[in-house]
Amino acid sequence: MIGATAVAAAPISPSAVHPRAVHRSRAMGGGLGIHVAVADDTALVAAELDAARVAARVRAWAGRLTRHDPASDLMRANADPSGVVPVRPTLAAALRWAADAADLTGGIVDATLLRERLAAEMTAHMGSTTRSGSALAPAGVPGLPSGAASRPTWRLERARHRSAHLHREPGLAFDLDGVAKGWIADRALALLDRHPGALVDADGDIAIRSAEGDAWEVGVADPRTAGAQLAVFVLPGASLGAHYGLATSGISVHRWAGPDGERHHLIDPRTGRPAATDVVQATVLAGSARAAEAWAKTAVVLGLIAALNVLDRAPILGAILLASDGRVLAVPRTTRWLA
């Protein structure tokens, strides 16, 4: 993939204090933006080189975790018929986060829904897609679904050099999707620690570290109107660097016609079908991109009322929901971060 780099000698938003180098390219089927805040203009070139290096790492990670390449680590593990599969460090780390995300969201974030998602993408009848052998985890936040019979039927066993052995029911297939994007954004941001601040935009899932006296502005896309924004977050810095994560999930982009109406790509693990939801889009601000992505997806799958109940208690900084009737709602603590 070809990266287009632009060096920005001037602040790119009204709240910015430090000059910023910006590297834009494509990865994970979408846009990848790496923004590096530097102390002064003399550091811009070094920041540009760092951003390009991190972009290359992002593409390498994404290549191991994608479901769109049969040669990826993920798809090779999915294709392995055995119940115990060795996995390399990148996939092992992403799967560990997938397990944590499932615990965090009461099983709503479930990385084992590849077959259900592929079934939803087909126009065939959906009656046989209800999953078995997997169930929801105990609820960690009040309001999350609970009462499921068992944990997801897979686990990781640590092995040498940060690799692992994946124990699973034979045939259980993984789709990391947004789980991987949030995880990649956070991991890429950590590679930019030597700069005062940085922002990694992994196709809409964003990890941010904001330096003291600086601030990053991030808009929330309005899916109804191209180029429009529902709101703008302003994320200030702190003395040791404030970390944020912003992610958006929704059902208005990946949609297709099915035999009984439109379908979308967000599967409700409780039914194995595309979630019946009145949340068109959810944006969550949290302390990391991976957590924000998990909660945003959870909000969409749960639907408006349940989502508001859960987000009210969830360990997040804010959330903005676009309902199917056009209302734009936010949990109250969100307003602190809005422009």
Partner 1 sequence: MPIRTDPTPRPVAAAPVAVPASSSERPAGSVAPSAHAGPSRPAGRPVARPAPRRPDPTITRLAVAAGGIATISALLAAIASAAIPAGTAAAAPTTGTAATPGSVQTIVKYVYVQPGQVNPGTGLATVVTPPAPLQAPAPVVTRQSGAKP
User: Which residues bind to partner 1, rule: CB under 8 A?
Assistant: 12-14, 28-31, 33, 35, 177-178, 181, 199, 201, 203-206, 216-221, 223, 226-233, 246-250, 252-254, 281, 283, 304-305, 308-309, 312, 320-321, 323, 327-332, 334-335, 338-339
CB of 229 to partner 1, least distance (A): 5
User: Dihedral angle at the C-alpha atoms of 153, 65, 101, 301, nearest 10 degrees?
Assistant: -90
* Exposure class string for 269-299: b at 16+ Cβ within 10 A, else e: bbebbbbebebbbbbbbbebbbbbbbbbbbb
Q: How many CA atoms lie within 13 A of 210 on its CB side?
A: 22
Cβ proximity to partner 1: between 52 and 339 the closer is 339
Query: First-to-last CA distance in the chain?
Result: 35
CB of 237 to partner 1, least distance (A): 15
Whole-angstrom Cα distance, residue 271 to residue 177? Answer: 19
Which among 127, 121, 128 is positioned nearest to 262, based on CA atoms? 121
Cβ proximity to partner 1: between 92 and 230 the closer is 230
Residues near 201 by Cβ (< 8 Å), separated by ≥ 6?
31, 32, 33, 34, 35, 185
CB of 14 to partner 1, least distance (A): 8
C-beta neighbour count of 234 within 10 angstroms: 16
Measured N-to-C along each axis, helices 289-302 and 89-104 cross at an angle, to the nearest 10 degrees, of 50
Cβ proximity to partner 1: between 178 and 237 the closer is 178
CB of 247 to partner 1, least distance (A): 6
CB of 67 to partner 1, least distance (A): 13
CB of 150 to partner 1, least distance (A): 30
